[in-house]
Chain A
Amino acid sequence: MKIAIEELAGCSGCTIAVLDLHEMLLDVVKEAEIVYSPVIMDVKEPPEGIDIAFVTGAVRNEENRERLEKLRRRAKTLVALGTCACYGGISGLSMLSSNEDLFSCVYREVETAKPDGVIPTDVPPFLYRAFAVGDLVKIDYYVTGCPPKEVFVKKIIPAMVAGDKLELSRKSVCSECDRTMGPVENWTLKRRHEGVPDREHCLLGQGYLCLGSVTFGRCAAACPKNNIPCHGCNGPSLDILREPCRDIYGMMVRRISDLTDKPQKEVEKELYDVAHTMYAFTIGSLIMEDKETSKIRDLVKERSR
């Protein structure tokens, strides 16, 4: 059993999530051989004949795309590991501006750079947009999470190595949350730093934009349990994925409207910074952009040349 882990446009957090198997890692390497993982070993190229390859990160430049295609050719099973690979992840936010504006800002406009700063050209060129890996090659399994959580990785990796089938929860973050729906009166949307939410009741009911209901679970609702509203880092829930007419924004508006008896139009007026609060992890996904009601098309500048 030969395993590879590739890194594209990402933060290496998913590779760390694999290392977070901790002592189980020693059992895994007894059963399987890790033949390629640039963060932890020196093999420079993925070899032929990989049984299971995990690809982490999104595709943002030419080199990412070449590596993804090479990995697909050399692996029997290709797994998209983490939200960047599955939906573009945080890198997708780079599509909020054009590539030119992005480079200009980074190399010329920030406080410590100079207006005549060099914009690098002898580097792998950016593609016109970010891609989730499944937008470009066939993916056999998707494992969401930013990064996938330890309890869950501890289930899937040994099972994959052993060739076992697994039944896993397909529910939303709310299904794992221990809060109850409290009274919802005089509801107005709060910014995340306003007030202190109580620990007993639903954060959305208290006026905080918690994406738990539209987000795929398997994180044990870690953030809501720590009094932090869900940011949607596991990507969309299954009901949104399945239905072409359902989208993160539309479903959130509908839920808030049902909860508060406010008309949807009124709810929409209260929303702010939709890009960073609702689509922070999914802008790079064509699947999510193509939804009938998706706001991604309105948010993205860099879609075509």
Chain B
Amino acid sequence: MKEITISPVTRIEGHAGIRIYLDDKGAVDSAHFQVVELRGFEKFLVGAAVEEAPRITPRICGICPSAHHLAAAKATDRIFGVEPPATGKKLRELLNIGQFVHSHALHFFMLAAPDFILGHDAPAESRNVIGLARNSPEIAKKAIAVRKFGQRLTEAVGGKPIHPANALPGGMSAPLTEGKRAELAVMAEEALGIAREGWEIARNLLDGVDTEVGAVRTGFLGMANQGVYSTYDGSVAMLGADGGRAGSFSDADYTKFIEEYSEDWSYLKFARFKGGDYYRVGPLARLNIVERMGTEHADAALTEYRERFGTVAQAPLAYHLARYIEFIASCERAADLLSDPGITGSDIRARVGKVVNRRGVGIIEAPRGTLIHDYTVNEAGIIERCNLIVATCQNNYAIDRGVEDMARRVVENGALTEGAANRIEMIVRAYDPCISCATHAIGRMPLRIECVRRT
């Protein structure tokens, strides 16, 4: 039995490895995506006062803390039977948008782009954001500027750029000041300018790249609001692998459609549709589900994208373009909300009393896909049960199969070059997996690729 290991998989969030098993001829027998961390939030939140969930769960992930913060806050709204007032809700949406701007900019420019702009055969020590800063300083500066806007927006609305704390049962704890709003509105226009310029790079990113690599055929799951792209509010739609509509759900009904299972070789659970069909979440899924983005420039980009990939795209590498289109949409939506006179209103928080519902489910779109927080509490509001379903758990199967597909293409005579290993990692990176999230994990995820020869 021979193993090839790529460890850790790098330029993704958290810790993972890839293990490739070879047969006695040195050809790929099978390959797996392995996550080596678990943190156990679903267990250690039991016993917590439920209003603490929005403060504790952001620590699941330092890249998308706002998504966890808001999913938990939405769940607590249900538990206390309140709806945030209009301004409170707009602020929450804006907070999620800040998250998307930073996370998508980070992934596209700093984690993924080095493969395409510097080339996936560039030396490992320069195939990164720092190499990008040296080779394409203008791109690096713009990437820093847009990410900074995302973090400044998160800080202004959420209180802190990483692990925001302002969302709580019934709304938000602090209003957006006029001074901050004006400052952010200017930054939003700048960011949108950069995003529109960058589309020139993004749209051609996959030219000459075989987009069939790592391909899987799956269904899709994602939120939309009456057919329009929406990340904070809406119902969750499902597509079958044939692209046909397979219904939609909201709140606690997710348990009718989704199940999870686990494997011996990974801490990361796998989610799929009940009945055994696999699905994917995230930018690719959301763009397959919506009819339109609802903002001018993102809609124009979506039209181009669909001409190339069709209305239901399956290619993993198309995630990069889908993510970029969402990045444009996020900048546009931020600019719109920041010019909304209601955004600086003081009516941001509904009064909260006793526990009204013993169970509360909060569903939101995180940058990497649909995120579900589900809490059951006792009469005093102490958590008795908790279930968290994160994006990467839902993409786990597709990543795992994509890795095997790529391994079959690049492993030659039982050997793996550094460039070939990076191509396998590129499939993983297309999904922008968040392993901290995925395992609500105690651990680390740079990818390890192992090849195991079966004898």
Chain B associates with chain A: yes
Tell me the complex Cα distance, A273–B161, Å: 27
CB proximity to A under 8 Å, residues B243-267: 254-255, 258-267
Assess whether B104 is interfacial by the CB under 8 Å rule: no
A29:B48 contact, CB within 8 angstroms: no
Residues of A within 8 A of B386 (CB): 110
Chain B nearest Cβ from A189, distance in angstroms: 12
Residue of A nearest to B441 (CB): A9
Interface flags, B123-149, vs A, CB<8A=1, else 0:
011011110010001001100110110
Give the contacting residue for B255; candidates A14, A35, A111; CB below 8 A: A111
Residues of A within 8 A of B365 (CB): none
Give the contacting residue for A94; candidates B6, B39, B173, B174; CB below 8 A: B39
B170:A193 contact, CB within 8 angstroms: yes
Residues of B within 8 A of A130 (CB): 442
Chain A nearest Cβ from B304, distance in angstroms: 30
A94:B44 contact, CB within 8 angstroms: yes
User: Which of A37-45, A132-140, A249-257 sits within the interface?
Assistant: A37-45
A38:B52 contact, CB within 8 angstroms: no
Chain B nearest Cβ from A36, distance in angstroms: 9
A13:B10 contact, CB within 8 angstroms: no
Residue of B nearest to A195 (CB): B351
Does more than half of chain A's interface fall in helix, strand or loop, or is it mixed?
loop
Assess whether B153 is interfacial by the CB under 8 Å rule: no
Residues of B within 8 A of A89 (CB): 59
Known contacts A42-B10, A89-B59, A228 near B173 by CB under 8 Å: yes
Residues of A within 8 A of B113 (CB): none
Give the contacting residue for A102; candidates B43, B271, B441; CB below 8 A: B43
Interface flags, B148-182, vs A, CB<8A=1, else 0:
10010000000111110110111001100000000
Known contacts A124-B443, A273-B48, A193 near B352 by CB under 8 Å: yes
Assess whether A15 is interfacial by the CB under 8 Å rule: yes
Residue of A nearest to B258 (CB): A112
Known contacts A38-B8, A110-B260, A196-B351, A9 near B129 by CB under 8 Å: no
Tell me the complex Cα distance, A120–B13, Å: 21
Give the contacting residue for B43; candidates A20, A97, A192, A277; CB below 8 A: A97
Residue of B nearest to A233 (CB): B163
Assess whether A147 is interfacial by the CB under 8 Å rule: yes
Residues of A within 8 A of B140 (CB): 26
Tell me the complex Cα distance, A13–B163, Å: 8
Assess whether A164 is interfacial by the CB under 8 Å rule: no
B7:A44 contact, CB within 8 angstroms: yes
B436:A12 contact, CB within 8 angstroms: yes
Residue of A nearest to B36 (CB): A124
Assess whether A186 is interfacial by the CB under 8 Å rule: no
Residues of A within 8 A of B42 (CB): 105-106, 110
A94:B43 contact, CB within 8 angstroms: yes
Tell me the complex Cα distance, A61–B389, Å: 23
B62:A120 contact, CB within 8 angstroms: no
| Sample (12) of A-B pairs whose CB atoms are under 8 Å apart | A16-B106, A23-B141, A35-B125, A38-B445, A44-B8, A44-B10, A60-B39, A97-B40, A106-B42, A111-B387, A193-B170, A273-B49
Per CB-CB distance, the 9 closest pairs between chain A and chain B, nearest first, are A13-B62, A38-B446, A41-B128, A60-B442, A226-B159, A276-B48, A105-B43, A93-B44, A11-B62
Q: A112-B260, A113-B262 are in contact. List 19 more A-B contacts (CB 8 A).
A: A10-B436, A22-B147, A23-B148, A38-B8, A40-B11, A41-B125, A60-B443, A63-B15, A63-B443, A111-B387, A112-B387, A113-B261, A123-B34, A123-B266, A191-B381, A194-B352, A222-B160, A275-B47, A280-B52
